[in-house]
Amino acid sequence: MAFVGYLFSSKTNLFFQKNIEKNVNLKKRNINKNQSVFTILASGNNESSENNKLKDALNDADIEARKIREEADKRKQAEERKRMAKQLKIDRLNAIPEDAEAGTVEEYMYKDGVKEILEKLDNDLVGLIPVKSRVREIAALLVVDKLRRNLGLDTGVPSLHMCFTGAPGTGKTTVAMRMGQILQRMGYSRSGHLVVATRDDLVGQYVGHTAPKTKEVIKKAMGGVLLIDEAYYLYNASNDRDYGQESIEILLNVMEENREDLVVVLAGYKDRMDKFFSFIPGMSSRIGNHIEFPNYQAEELLSIAKVMCRDLEYEMAIEAEPVFFEYIKKRMKMPYFSNARTVRNAVDRARMRAAIRLFNKAFDPSSDGMVSKQELMTLEKNDFVSVEELTARGEDAIVE
């Protein structure tokens, strides 16, 4: 088959060469005919002028013919390089034994620390099974690509730019951070660090201000992950002169030209992100992974609260669990609910009330003023505020 391809290429080049010579000869014959006519009609001083014009025409024809030959030679060389590269690839594949071993998936999961990061993701995030499954799929692709590289097989660089959709507090930033670590461990990014940005970080207030701001943020994120929260605010459909368009154009270029050194994650509400992509189709085509983050259920939010307490070296008293559960069920139906962020606010308020409780105890005349380790580590039932009490006090759990 290689010989047939080469023969076909040779015939093609011969066809081009004959056509070139035919066109050049035809042009010269036409010029010679014109020269004969001009010679008969020319007289006196006009003869020298017409001869110069004919010489210029012949020179132009020679230059054009040379350009055509050079272009044909370039095409021929490009085809030959392509043929040789293809043959080299075939030879390399044929040289790999069918039973060659590149290693095991488990080996690379452990060696590169991917398994450890996925376990951290499980510990960091309660629930979100679909999200974790999608992250595992991406990690699996990276591991298998690495095994393929070990055997010299082709591994086209996958599009790792992502879109995270969901309400605030559903774990988008945490997942972006863990993805950066996975990419760094697998050799797909230099550092794997996370830079979080919004419109205010990228778009300027006057002409010439946006490009430097956007480029500065991109520079900080190079080698890692750039998370743009509520990315749809970059585009203002009602204002054609909005500076956000300039930032978008820079991002589009970087996402295409530097995709091996930067992963861009766009985050926000799904309906708004869909509308954003409809206005900027070039952005959607550069996103290879769309991950939707669902809202947490009340039971999951209780588990998140207990994990937060544990990480802060607190313990939620058993009697406090139903109080918090009732609070979060009611709070979920109220405005500005933000999933895990609302939980964090509730835990922070409980810590504050616990501190006040212990502080007052220390100054109670009937107390010896001593505070035990258990008391310092326990959040009791009365430390958690009910929705009714919160509303009566004019407070809420707004974190946005």
Contacting residues for 90 by C-beta, under 8 A, at least 6 apart: 2
208 SS3 class: coil
Place of tokens 């500065």: 216
- What's residue 392's pLDDT? 55
According to the model, what pLDDT value does residue 38 have? 47
Question: Given this structure, which CATH class describes domain 105-293?
Answer: alpha beta
Beta bridge partners of 227: 196, 265
Q: Distance between CA atoms of 61 and 294, rounded to whole angstroms?
A: 69
CA distances from 381 to 316, 323, 351, 394 (A): 8, 7, 12, 21
Tens digit of pLDDT at every position of the chain (400 positions)? 443 444 444 444 555 455 555 555 655 555 555 555 445 444 555 656 777 777 777 788 788 888 888 888 888 888 888 777 666 666 655 555 555 554 555 555 555 677 788 888 887 778 888 888 888 888 888 778 777 776 767 666 677 899 999 999 898 998 899 888 888 887 777 888 999 999 999 998 888 889 999 999 999 999 999 999 999 999 988 877 788 899 999 999 999 888 888 999 999 999 999 999 999 888 888 898 899 999 999 999 999 999 999 999 999 999 999 999 999 999 999 888 999 999 999 999 999 999 999 888 877 777 777 888 998 999 999 998 765 566 555 555 443 3
Which of these CATH numbers, 1.10.10.10, 1.10.8.60, 2.60.320.10, 3.40.1390.20, describes 298-392? 1.10.8.60
| pTM, to two decimals | 0.66
Cα separation, 31 vs 58, in Å, equals: 7
Phi, psi of 267 (to 5 degrees): -130, 150
**Of the candidates 241, 230, 247, 234, the residue with the CA atom closest to the CA atom of residue 279:** 234
